[in-house]
Structure 1
Amino acid sequence: MENFEYFNKTALNKLLILRKGETKFGEKIAIPSQESAQFADFLKNTDAKFIVYGIKEFAGVKANFGRIGQKHAWDVFLPVFLNIQHNKFLKAHHVAVIGCFDFKVYEEEIQQLNPSEPGQLNRLFEIVSEIDKEVTYLNTLIHRAGKKAIVIGGGHNNAYGNIKGLALAKGAAVNVVNFDAHTDFRALEGRHSGNGFSYAFHEGFLNTYCMFGAHENYLNKFMLHQFKEQPERLKLYTFEEVKVRFEKDFQTSINNIQRVIKSKPYGIEIDVDAIENTPSSAMSPSGFSVTEARQFINQTATSSNASYLHLCEGSPSFSTAADNMLGKLLTYLTTDFIKAQLSVVK
């Protein structure tokens, strides 16, 4: 993993804010050895059930003609997460923070590439494919060690690596539920943030895909055709059906999704653009509330087959509020997943 930066005690101590009479989460988490050669052994031997890491890249978003941020979600998530309380509601020894992918080797090139130029767009596709390889490899390691992955940041292109890594570790196609304003099931035109699920599906890594919360204004003919042609494996719940026209009940829809996906190992994908006014590439004034997003994770994660959580597309660059508001949101969603899992995974 050439572009992975391992977390360590020095970085931890810079972020911890200690208070007398309190125990902060970061004081009790597991941290890997700085020697990458020992990393697989760390995953195998640690008592931590949940492996948290970040991804810092906007290549997939730019290749999908989206807005790219200048600051990354991981940078605002980590200091908040490490400074929550270690208490009876959540014990930090269940968690390891291992570090983050930082694809700064491509950063200058990505900034200069113009996706409107076919040749330059193809180069962006190539970069995303390189990122795919590293994300896939790490996820495979985590799941082969019997751990759950919690992935923070990056574009939704990284869903592909999450899905493929889990499928390779399990030796079979897996299921996914995506809480998102967009299906990210675009045509197979080169890798970007809008087709991670369609590529995983086409290549046989994704068995059943449940799409929850898609905005009808952004469903193109290709997407609608795919969901119509394969209704047993592709499930669609639009935001308007659930929250505007009330044709489908929020709670009942979640229950139906859970019944469909829980028979196999599955991932929970959360694009924060589905949450109203959350700073992201496709930030929207209309969407689910933060509390509804937390409820969604809590309920979809209550199965031993829930194998990973991915929180993507957040960018504090697009926020007019204090940066730590996004960090707090991502922390709530992360701890909701862990708590739900601990209720079923002993």
Structure 2
Amino acid sequence: MENFEYFNISRLNELLVLRKDETKFGEKIKYPSDKTTNISTFLNETSAEFVVFGIKEFVGIKANFGRTGEKHSWDIFLSSFLNIQNNKYLKASNIALIGCFDYSKYNDEINNLNPAVQADLKRLYEIVSEIDKEVTYLNTLIHRSGKKAVVIGGGHNNAYGNIKGLALAKGTNINVVNFDAHTDFRALEGRHSGNGFSYAFNEGFIDTYCVFGAHENYLNKHMIHRFKEYPDKLKLVTFEEMKVRFEKDFLTSINNVLKTTKSKSYGIEIDVDAIENIASSAMSPSGFSVTEARQFVNMMANHSNASYLHICEGSASLSNASENMLGKLLTYLVTDFIKAQLAVGK
């Protein structure tokens, strides 16, 4: 993995804030040693059940004509996550923090590419496809080692690598639920943040795809047609049905989605643009509350077939909110996922 940076003791010491008579998460969490040269060996040997890694890129968003941030959610997440309490409710020893993909080598090139120019757009698609390969590979390794993956950051283009990696590891297609204001089921026009699910579905890696909370104002004719074309495989519950017109109950809808997906290994995708006023590429004044997002993750993760959590599209630089707020949100969602998973095994 050419673009992967291992987490290490030096980075931990930069971020960890110690306090007397307290034990922070970072003091007990597992991570590769400086001598680690083979990530596959580490994954197979660690006793941690959950493997956390980040993806630092905005190219998929730019290729989809979206707003790109300046600060990656992975860096913001780490300072919050490592400094929560290690206590009876969650032990850090269950978690391995392995590092992140960093695609900053493309920054100068990406900044000079204009998606409105066809040749530039094609190059953006090519870079996203290169990222797909590495994200797929690491996800495959994690799941083949019997671990669950927690993926932080990047555009929603990275859903494709998460899905393909899990499907390859399991040797069969999987189910996916996407908590999102958008379906990200755009046309197969070249890889970007708006079509990771449509590519994965078209290539046979997805069996059933459920979108939870999509905003009706952003459903184009192509998407509506595709969901009508495959009613047994493509499921949609809109935000307006639940929270505006009250045609469907929020908690009942989550349970119905869980019933649809839990029959085989499934992934949980969270785009933070579904949460009201959270800094993201498609930040919205209307959306679910943070508490509702936490309830969704907790309920959807409450089954042994829940295999990964991916939280994407966040960037504190896209609003005036403090970085600490986004970092706490990401930390809450990650710990909710892991706690729910651990409870399944009890």
Q: So what's the TM-score if we normalise by structure 1?
A: 0.99
Q: Which amino acid aligns with 1:53?
A: F
Q: Retained in 2: the 8 A contact 1:159–1:197?
A: yes
Q: Is the 8 A contact 2:177 2:210 kept in 1?
A: yes
What code does the residue aligned with 1:149 have? A
1:10 deviates by 1.0
Give the deviation of 1:319 after TM superposition: 2.4
- Per-residue CA distance 1:117-147 (angstroms, 9 max, x = gap): 0110000000000000000000000000000
Counterpart of 2:60 in structure 1 is: 60
The answer on whether the counterparts of 1:128 and 1:191 sit within 8 Å (CA) in structure 2 is: yes
Aligned pair 1:81/2:98, yes or no? no
Partner of 1:132: 132
What is aligned with 1:43? 43
Amino acid at match of 2:308: Y
- 1:344 matched to 2:313: no
Change (3 A) 1:122 1:24: same
- Mapped to 1, the partners of 2:36 and 2:280 lie a distance apart of 32
SS of the residue 2:310 aligns to: strand
Q: Equivalent residue for 1:17?
A: 17
Deviation at 1:36, TM superposition (A): 5.2
Q: May I ask how many residue pairs the two structures share in their alignment?
A: 346
Counterpart of 1:333 in structure 2 is 333
Query: C-alpha distance in 2, partners of 1:264/1:44?
Result: 23
Secondary structure of 2:88's match?
coil
Deviation at 1:41?
1.1
Which residue identity lines up with residue 201 of structure 1 in the other structure? Answer: F
| Separation in structure 2 between the aligned mates of residue 92 and residue 246 of structure 1, nearest angstrom | 40
> Which digits, 9 at most, give the CA deviation of each residue in 1:271-316, with x for residues without a partner?
0000000000000000000000000000000000000000000001
Which whole-Å CA distance do the structure 1 matches of 2:116 and 2:98 have between them?
Answer: 37
In the alignment, residue 216 of structure 2 is paired with which amino acid? E
Deviations 1:197-237 (A, max 9, x none): 00000000011000000000000000000101111000000
Is 1:96–2:96 an aligned residue pair? yes
Distance 2:180 2:10 in 1: 36
Letter in 1 for 2:38: Q
Contact 1:175 1:265 in 2 (8 A): yes
Indicate if the aligned counterparts of 1:164 and 1:205 stay in contact, CA closer than 8 A: yes
Q: CA deviation at 1:33?
A: 2.8
Q: Matches of 1:272 and 1:344 in 2, distance apart? A: 25
2:105 equivalent in structure 1 = 105
Aligned: 1:273 with 2:301: no
Runs of 4+ off more than 6 Å: none
User: 1:345: how far off?
Assistant: 3.0
Note the residue ranges of structure 2 that are not aligned, 5 or more in a row.
none
Aligned to 1:178, what secondary structure does the other structure show? strand
- Once residues 130 and 260 of structure 1 are traced to their aligned partners in structure 2, the CA distance between those partners, rounded to angstroms, is 32
How far apart in 2 are the matches of 1:96 and 1:50? Answer: 6
Pairwise mapping of residues 1-346 of structure 1 onto structure 2 (< 5 A)? Answer: 1-35=1-35, 37-345=37-345
Query: Gapped runs of 5+ residues in structure 1?
Result: none
In 2, Cα distance between the equivalents of 1:243 and 1:41?
Answer: 47
Q: Does the 8 Å contact 2:36/2:42 carry over to 1?
A: no
Conservation of the 8 A alpha-carbon contact between 1:175 and 1:209: yes
CA offset at residue 35 of structure 1? Answer: 4.5
The 1-side partners of 2:232 and 2:36 are apart by 42
1:7 and 1:34 in contact (8 A); partners too: no
Tell me, yes or no, if the aligned pair for 1:33 and 1:39 is still in contact at 8 Å: no
Hey, what's the Cα distance between the residues in 2 that align with 1:301 and 1:286?
25
- Does the CA-based 8 Å contact 2:298-2:337 persist in structure 1? yes
8 Å CA contact 2:279–2:321 kept in 1: the answer is no
CA distance in 2, matches of 1:144, 1:159: 18
Secondary structure of 1:2's aligned partner: coil
Distance 2:285 2:236 in 1: 22
CA distance, structure 2, for counterparts of residue 164 and residue 37 of structure 1: 25
TM-score of the superposed pair, with normalisation by structure 2: 0.99
Question: Matched residues in 2 for 1:130 and 1:11: separation?
Answer: 27
The 2-side partners of 1:284 and 1:321 are apart by: 14
Amino acid at match of 2:333: L
Q: Provide the identity percentage.
A: 74
